[in-house]
Structure 1
Amino acid sequence: MQLNVSGHHVEVTDSLRGYVESKIEKIERHFDLVSGVHCILTVEKLQHKAEATVNVNGGTIYADAIEEDMYAAIDGLVDKLDRRVRKHKEKLVDHHARESHKRRYG
Protein backbone atom coordinates (compact mmCIF):
# COMPACT_ATOMS: atom_id res chain seq x y z
CA MET A 1 0.00 0.00 0.00
CA GLN A 2 1.27 3.44 -0.91
CA LEU A 3 0.76 6.18 1.71
CA ASN A 4 1.20 9.85 0.84
CA VAL A 5 1.00 12.39 3.70
CA SER A 6 1.14 16.10 2.92
CA GLY A 7 0.54 19.25 4.91
CA HIS A 8 -1.17 22.54 4.11
CA HIS A 9 -0.04 25.38 6.41
CA VAL A 10 1.54 22.76 8.66
CA GLU A 11 4.86 20.95 8.60
CA VAL A 12 4.46 17.18 8.55
CA THR A 13 6.93 15.97 11.14
CA ASP A 14 8.20 12.43 11.48
CA SER A 15 5.99 11.90 14.53
CA LEU A 16 2.86 13.03 12.64
CA ARG A 17 3.77 10.87 9.65
CA GLY A 18 4.40 7.87 11.91
CA TYR A 19 1.11 8.43 13.74
CA VAL A 20 -0.82 8.53 10.46
CA GLU A 21 0.95 5.38 9.23
CA SER A 22 0.17 3.46 12.41
CA LYS A 23 -3.50 4.47 12.28
CA ILE A 24 -3.93 3.73 8.56
CA GLU A 25 -2.64 0.18 9.14
CA LYS A 26 -5.92 -0.42 11.02
CA ILE A 27 -7.83 0.14 7.78
CA GLU A 28 -5.58 -2.22 5.86
CA ARG A 29 -6.27 -4.98 8.41
CA HIS A 30 -10.01 -4.75 7.70
CA PHE A 31 -9.74 -4.56 3.92
CA ASP A 32 -6.60 -5.86 2.24
CA LEU A 33 -7.43 -4.51 -1.23
CA VAL A 34 -6.29 -0.95 -0.41
CA SER A 35 -3.95 0.24 -3.15
CA GLY A 36 -3.16 3.74 -1.92
CA VAL A 37 -3.97 6.44 0.62
CA HIS A 38 -3.49 10.18 0.18
CA CYS A 39 -3.76 12.10 3.46
CA ILE A 40 -3.77 15.91 3.73
CA LEU A 41 -3.30 17.64 7.09
CA THR A 42 -4.44 21.27 7.23
CA VAL A 43 -4.40 24.01 9.87
CA GLU A 44 -6.89 26.87 9.52
CA LYS A 45 -6.93 29.34 12.41
CA LEU A 46 -7.78 27.20 15.45
CA GLN A 47 -9.10 24.20 13.52
CA HIS A 48 -7.02 21.20 12.55
CA LYS A 49 -8.36 19.24 9.59
CA ALA A 50 -7.35 15.79 8.42
CA GLU A 51 -8.70 14.44 5.14
CA ALA A 52 -7.89 11.30 3.22
CA THR A 53 -8.70 9.61 -0.04
CA VAL A 54 -8.40 5.82 -0.06
CA ASN A 55 -8.14 3.96 -3.35
CA VAL A 56 -9.67 0.50 -2.97
CA ASN A 57 -10.59 -2.25 -5.35
CA GLY A 58 -13.87 -1.06 -6.81
CA GLY A 59 -13.77 2.64 -5.98
CA THR A 60 -12.47 5.57 -4.00
CA ILE A 61 -13.40 6.42 -0.41
CA TYR A 62 -13.08 9.96 1.01
CA ALA A 63 -13.38 11.15 4.61
CA ASP A 64 -12.38 14.18 6.65
CA ALA A 65 -12.42 15.28 10.27
CA ILE A 66 -12.04 18.67 11.97
CA GLU A 67 -10.90 18.97 15.59
CA GLU A 68 -8.99 21.37 17.83
CA ASP A 69 -5.99 19.01 17.97
CA MET A 70 -4.28 17.41 14.96
CA TYR A 71 -3.96 14.00 16.62
CA ALA A 72 -7.67 14.04 17.51
CA ALA A 73 -8.48 14.98 13.90
CA ILE A 74 -6.42 12.01 12.67
CA ASP A 75 -8.23 9.71 15.11
CA GLY A 76 -11.62 10.96 13.91
CA LEU A 77 -10.54 10.57 10.29
CA VAL A 78 -9.44 6.98 10.79
CA ASP A 79 -12.70 6.12 12.58
CA LYS A 80 -14.73 7.50 9.66
CA LEU A 81 -12.53 5.74 7.10
CA ASP A 82 -12.78 2.47 9.00
CA ARG A 83 -16.60 2.62 8.98
CA ARG A 84 -16.72 3.53 5.30
CA VAL A 85 -14.23 0.83 4.27
CA ARG A 86 -16.18 -1.83 6.19
CA LYS A 87 -19.41 -0.61 4.54
CA HIS A 88 -17.73 -0.81 1.13
CA LYS A 89 -16.52 -4.32 1.89
CA GLU A 90 -20.04 -5.40 2.88
CA LYS A 91 -21.34 -4.12 -0.45
CA LEU A 92 -18.83 -6.30 -2.27
CA VAL A 93 -19.85 -9.48 -0.41
CA ASP A 94 -22.56 -11.44 -2.20
CA HIS A 95 -25.13 -12.04 0.53
CA HIS A 96 -27.44 -13.95 -1.80
CA ALA A 97 -24.93 -16.75 -2.19
CA ARG A 98 -24.84 -17.17 1.57
CA GLU A 99 -28.66 -17.42 1.74
CA SER A 100 -28.83 -20.07 -0.97
CA HIS A 101 -26.14 -22.03 0.84
CA LYS A 102 -28.23 -21.95 4.05
CA ARG A 103 -31.36 -23.12 2.23
CA ARG A 104 -29.51 -25.89 0.50
CA TYR A 105 -27.59 -27.27 3.48
CA GLY A 106 -29.77 -26.21 6.36
Structure 2
Amino acid sequence: MNQNNRPHEVIVSGIHLELTQGMKDHVREKMERLFRHEGHIVRLKVELECDRKHDHDHKFIAKGHVVINGPDINATVQAEDCYKAIDLLVDKLDHGLRKRHGLHKDKRNHPHAIEFDGVELPKAI
Protein backbone atom coordinates (compact mmCIF):
# COMPACT_ATOMS: atom_id res chain seq x y z
CA MET A 1 0.00 0.00 0.00
CA ASN A 2 1.34 3.41 -0.93
CA GLN A 3 1.83 5.91 1.82
CA ASN A 4 2.16 9.66 1.48
CA ASN A 5 5.88 9.73 2.28
CA ARG A 6 6.78 6.97 -0.21
CA PRO A 7 7.12 7.86 -3.90
CA HIS A 8 4.88 6.00 -6.32
CA GLU A 9 6.52 3.39 -8.50
CA VAL A 10 6.03 4.17 -12.18
CA ILE A 11 8.07 2.14 -14.66
CA VAL A 12 8.35 3.62 -18.15
CA SER A 13 9.92 1.66 -20.99
CA GLY A 14 10.21 2.23 -24.72
CA ILE A 15 10.07 -0.33 -27.53
CA HIS A 16 11.63 0.81 -30.82
CA LEU A 17 11.57 4.29 -29.34
CA GLU A 18 14.15 6.55 -27.73
CA LEU A 19 12.63 7.77 -24.45
CA THR A 20 13.41 11.36 -23.62
CA GLN A 21 13.29 12.84 -20.14
CA GLY A 22 10.32 14.93 -21.28
CA MET A 23 8.34 11.79 -22.18
CA LYS A 24 9.16 10.16 -18.86
CA ASP A 25 8.15 13.29 -16.94
CA HIS A 26 4.91 13.56 -18.94
CA VAL A 27 4.00 9.94 -18.13
CA ARG A 28 4.76 10.39 -14.42
CA GLU A 29 2.81 13.65 -14.26
CA LYS A 30 -0.26 12.12 -15.93
CA MET A 31 -0.12 8.93 -13.85
CA GLU A 32 -0.34 10.92 -10.60
CA ARG A 33 -4.04 11.30 -11.43
CA LEU A 34 -4.47 7.54 -10.98
CA PHE A 35 -2.72 7.57 -7.60
CA ARG A 36 -5.11 10.28 -6.38
CA HIS A 37 -8.10 8.05 -7.08
CA GLU A 38 -6.76 4.76 -5.80
CA GLY A 39 -4.27 4.57 -2.93
CA HIS A 40 -3.78 0.80 -3.13
CA ILE A 41 -1.84 0.81 -6.41
CA VAL A 42 1.37 -1.16 -5.99
CA ARG A 43 3.02 -0.37 -9.32
CA LEU A 44 2.30 1.20 -12.71
CA LYS A 45 4.13 -0.03 -15.79
CA VAL A 46 3.89 1.91 -19.05
CA GLU A 47 5.29 0.68 -22.36
CA LEU A 48 5.54 3.11 -25.26
CA GLU A 49 6.04 1.55 -28.68
CA CYS A 50 6.63 3.01 -32.11
CA ASP A 51 5.16 0.76 -34.82
CA ARG A 52 6.25 1.97 -38.25
CA LYS A 53 5.58 -1.18 -40.24
CA HIS A 54 1.87 -1.94 -39.93
CA ASP A 55 -0.45 1.05 -39.78
CA HIS A 56 0.61 4.54 -40.74
CA ASP A 57 -2.33 6.23 -38.97
CA HIS A 58 -1.66 4.69 -35.57
CA LYS A 59 2.05 4.41 -35.20
CA PHE A 60 2.35 4.95 -31.44
CA ILE A 61 1.09 2.28 -29.07
CA ALA A 62 0.87 2.83 -25.32
CA LYS A 63 0.32 -0.12 -22.99
CA GLY A 64 -0.41 0.27 -19.31
CA HIS A 65 -0.37 -2.32 -16.52
CA VAL A 66 -1.71 -1.38 -13.09
CA VAL A 67 -0.63 -3.79 -10.36
CA ILE A 68 -3.19 -3.56 -7.58
CA ASN A 69 -4.55 -5.78 -4.85
CA GLY A 70 -6.73 -8.23 -6.74
CA PRO A 71 -6.83 -8.56 -10.52
CA ASP A 72 -4.49 -6.26 -12.42
CA ILE A 73 -5.82 -3.71 -14.88
CA ASN A 74 -4.34 -3.63 -18.39
CA ALA A 75 -5.04 -1.22 -21.24
CA THR A 76 -3.71 -0.55 -24.72
CA VAL A 77 -4.30 2.48 -26.95
CA GLN A 78 -3.03 3.59 -30.34
CA ALA A 79 -2.60 7.13 -31.64
CA GLU A 80 -0.67 9.11 -34.20
CA ASP A 81 1.15 11.13 -31.51
CA CYS A 82 3.05 9.72 -28.52
CA TYR A 83 1.76 12.32 -26.06
CA LYS A 84 -1.82 11.80 -27.24
CA ALA A 85 -1.41 8.04 -26.73
CA ILE A 86 -0.24 8.67 -23.16
CA ASP A 87 -3.26 10.89 -22.45
CA LEU A 88 -5.67 8.32 -23.90
CA LEU A 89 -4.01 5.57 -21.87
CA VAL A 90 -4.43 7.51 -18.62
CA ASP A 91 -8.11 8.08 -19.42
CA LYS A 92 -8.64 4.38 -20.12
CA LEU A 93 -6.84 3.24 -16.95
CA ASP A 94 -8.75 5.83 -14.90
CA HIS A 95 -12.03 4.48 -16.27
CA GLY A 96 -10.98 0.92 -15.37
CA LEU A 97 -10.08 1.94 -11.81
CA ARG A 98 -13.38 3.78 -11.36
CA LYS A 99 -15.32 0.80 -12.69
CA ARG A 100 -13.46 -1.56 -10.35
CA HIS A 101 -14.09 0.75 -7.40
CA GLY A 102 -17.79 0.90 -8.26
CA LEU A 103 -18.04 -2.90 -8.38
CA HIS A 104 -16.47 -3.21 -4.93
CA LYS A 105 -18.77 -0.49 -3.60
CA ASP A 106 -21.84 -2.34 -4.95
CA LYS A 107 -20.74 -5.56 -3.27
CA ARG A 108 -20.27 -3.71 0.00
CA ASN A 109 -23.70 -2.04 -0.15
CA HIS A 110 -25.66 -5.14 -1.13
CA PRO A 111 -25.52 -7.82 1.56
CA HIS A 112 -25.72 -11.46 0.67
CA ALA A 113 -29.04 -13.27 0.51
CA ILE A 114 -30.44 -14.65 3.76
CA GLU A 115 -31.92 -18.13 3.95
CA PHE A 116 -35.40 -18.29 5.51
CA ASP A 117 -35.63 -22.04 6.14
CA GLY A 118 -38.31 -22.87 8.70
CA VAL A 119 -39.33 -19.26 9.29
CA GLU A 120 -42.91 -18.12 8.77
CA LEU A 121 -43.12 -14.83 6.99
CA PRO A 122 -46.18 -12.60 7.30
CA LYS A 123 -48.47 -12.76 4.31
CA ALA A 124 -48.80 -9.68 2.16
CA ILE A 125 -52.30 -8.23 2.02
When normalised by structure 2's length, the TM-score is 0.74
The yes-or-no answer on 1:95 pairing with 2:103 is no
* Structure 1 unaligned spans of 5+: 98-106
* Structure 2 unaligned spans of 5+: 1-7, 112-125
Q: Residue 69 of structure 2 aligns with which residue? A: 57
The yes-or-no answer on 1:18 pairing with 2:25 is yes
Aligned amino acid, residue 20 of structure 2: T
Q: What is the CA RMSD across the aligned residues, in angstroms?
A: 1.1
Structure 1's consecutive aligned runs of 4 or more residues displaced over 3 angstroms after TM superposition are none
User: How far has the Cα of 1:24 moved from its partner?
Assistant: 0.5
User: How far has the Cα of 1:88 moved from its partner?
Assistant: 0.9
The yes-or-no answer on 1:36 pairing with 2:43 is yes
Q: Deviations over 1:18-68 (max 9, x none)?
A: 000011100111111100011100001141011010011222000011000
Greater strand share, structure number: 1
Q: How many residues align?
A: 97
Structure of higher CA gyration radius: 2
Greater helix share, structure number: 1
Identity across the alignment (%)? 34
What SS does the corresponding residue of 1:32 show, helix, strand or coil?
Answer: coil
- Distance in 1 between residues matched to 2:40 and 2:101, nearest whole Å: 10
